[in-house]
Structure 1
């Protein structure tokens, strides 16, 4: 018998016990998932027709660990804004960015392109980067579509093609190509310096945490696509997204109100957890009491 115990002990690595994952981390993960599952109906009902609700919620679930320190109310508001416009929070169509304890909805350039596509007169929307060694030409006075030409160097890697020198965007509308919007880095920086309050506030505070700081190329691309909106048919949704984007840039303390969204108030006990915390779960899989923080503004 003692020999058997010795073999079991040796197989287990002597006196050392296998490391177990922290129970509290799993409990918090369970609470986050439960919190989101209880609100799926609100987000799904806000989605426009044609947007796959299963895929949208799958993307939302994958995002939640990055937002674990944000207030539930701000996460609810940000996800509801994504759903309202039918944009996935995947970092391409839209992003949900944690600013300290506030989860903030941030539309990206692919989100604007998606909304432009939804207009019945818009056939297609194109965005691209021109690099130093690419072949390209732009002659504004030439008739469309001979005024613009871009041929990437497919025989070279992205790094070998050189640094990005221009962003461009255009659309095909009713079978005709729109004006080509071209934006160089200096123009993007001028737009940032003139129009972005979030950038200026971050610079003044020495934080450098605005999207212009953390993902300049994404904001450069969005600036080019935003200029394209002036030459494409504008829908109500696109106008609302532009207004929401402006409101987001104007504030750094609380998420703005997005027209057309409704903040749910389904907490049964009227309690709200402290900022940055989730409903307490004593053990993984337990049914400990949960509370909500849905104290956002209503549109």
Structure 2
């Protein structure tokens, strides 16, 4: 006859078996671990290891129910977003604001944040300095284009500067030359209204957690930086970033040398032909593209 301590132990084990709930993210974690080698190959020398990237993503999934649901609904899109972050060497950790994994229409999208764009600008080895600022109603601001461009911005510091009215980027190129981009608030909003899926979803639903609602000026600065990045000369990493930003791509390993990164959703405004939203001086014009080298920008774009 079993002893009382043995009976207690058996009861405890049975209770643990009945109460044990499988981890709903176990399959996702397994998938991420299975592509650790590919993540390592994609990562540039940016201080991020594949192990850290996987830990960050798993933490984000456990903290964000909507993101976890999108990842479980379309696991390939999560793997694609992780590979895009790895390819650019951007850290998706909350608070760093380099990039974000965003649930959108049942898929995981990859969005580059303002700080991520600035980081890539410096890392491209084409930029000596880069800054974007918001212009307010009471600020003193003037801009002159031409052979000798001139930008003057004196912020109003004696109280409330008023509503924001525009955004500009100034980038100093290594070897000489500047990139100057200015966009009015209306120009930025036209881009937002036409291309931002997250903003449109917020208008039609109750969730308004997009930065377009919570920090519009920050998104204005990001938009003008993206406009300026079109003109950074001969920079594969920037061209790749513009092609990948705000897209969802499915990672589908294959027997081919290069895996399939099919484009399944895009709201990338910088691939639109004939959409002139800014004026830039004293810089070489470079069209955005899919990047060079090992850029995993997709082989079979899908219609959505």
- 1:27 aligns to 2:26 (yes or no): no
Tell me: CA distance 1:179–1:56, structure 2 relative to 1, closer, same or farther (3 Å).
Answer: same
Summarize deviations over 1:69-89 as a string: whole Å, max 9, x none.
123222111111111121222
Please show how residues 5-154 of structure 1 align to structure 2 within 5 Å: 24=21, 27-28=23-24, 33=29, 35-53=31-49, 55-65=52-62, 66=64, 67-70=67-70, 71=72, 72-90=75-93, 92-133=97-138, 135-140=139-144, 147-151=151-155, 153=157
Query: How far is the alpha carbon of 1:93 from its aligned partner?
Result: 2.1
- What is the rounded CA distance, in whole Å, between the counterparts of 1:149 and 1:185 in structure 2? 16
5+ residue gaps, structure 2, are 1-18, 256-297
- State the distance in 2 between where 1:63 and 1:223 align: 25
Kindly state the Cα deviation for residue 236 of structure 1 after the two structures are TM-superposed.
Answer: 1.8
Return the index of the structure with the highest Cα Rg: 1
Following superposition, the deviation at residue 37 of structure 1 comes to 4.0
Distance 1:190 1:64, change over 3 A: same
Task: Provide the residue aligned with 2:249 in structure 1.
Answer: 256
* Greater CA drift, 75-84 or 51-60: 51-60
Q: 1:57 offset after TM fit, Å? A: 4.1
Which structure exhibits the higher relative contact order, with contacts defined as CA atoms closer than 8 Å and separated by 6 or more residues? 1
Take 2:145 and 2:240, find their aligned partners in 1: how far apart are those partners? 34
More strand by share: 2
> CA 1:223 to 1:59, structure 2 compared with 1: closer, same or farther past 3 Å?
same
Name the CA distance, whole Å, in 2 between partners of 1:242 and 1:170.
18
Q: Structure 1 pair 265/166, CA: closer, same or farther in 2 (3 Å)?
A: same
* TM-score calculated relative to the size of structure 1: 0.61
Please tell me whether the aligned partners of residues 263 and 298 of structure 1 are also in contact (alpha carbons under 8 angstroms).
no
RMSD: 3.8
Q: CA deviation at 1:162?
A: 4.0
Structure 1 residues 119 and 151: alpha-carbon distance in aligned structure 2, compared to 1, 3 A threshold? same
Q: State the 1:35 CA deviation.
A: 4.8
Q: Whole-Å Cα distance in 1 between the matches of residues 131 and 161 of structure 2?
A: 20
Q: Would the alpha carbon gap of residues 209 and 219 (structure 1) be closer, same or farther in structure 2, given more than 3 Å must change? A: farther
Residue 199 (structure 1) shift: 7.0
The count of aligned residue pairs is 229
The equivalent residue for 2:289 is none
Q: 1:61 to 1:263 in 2, by over 3 A?
A: same
For residues 140 and 208 of structure 1, the distance between their equivalents in structure 2, rounded to whole angstroms, comes to 43
How big is each residue's C-alpha offset from its partner over 1:153-184, in whole Å with a ceiling of 9 and x where there is no partner? 3x86xxx4444332221111125451422222
Please state how far the C-alpha of 1:226 moved relative to its aligned partner. Answer: 1.8
Partner secondary structure for residue 242 of structure 1:
helix
1:178 aligns with 2:206: no
User: How far apart are residue 228 of structure 1 and its match?
Assistant: 0.9
Call closer, same or farther: CA 1:62–1:214 in 2, change over 3 Å.
farther
TM-score with structure 2 setting the length: 0.60
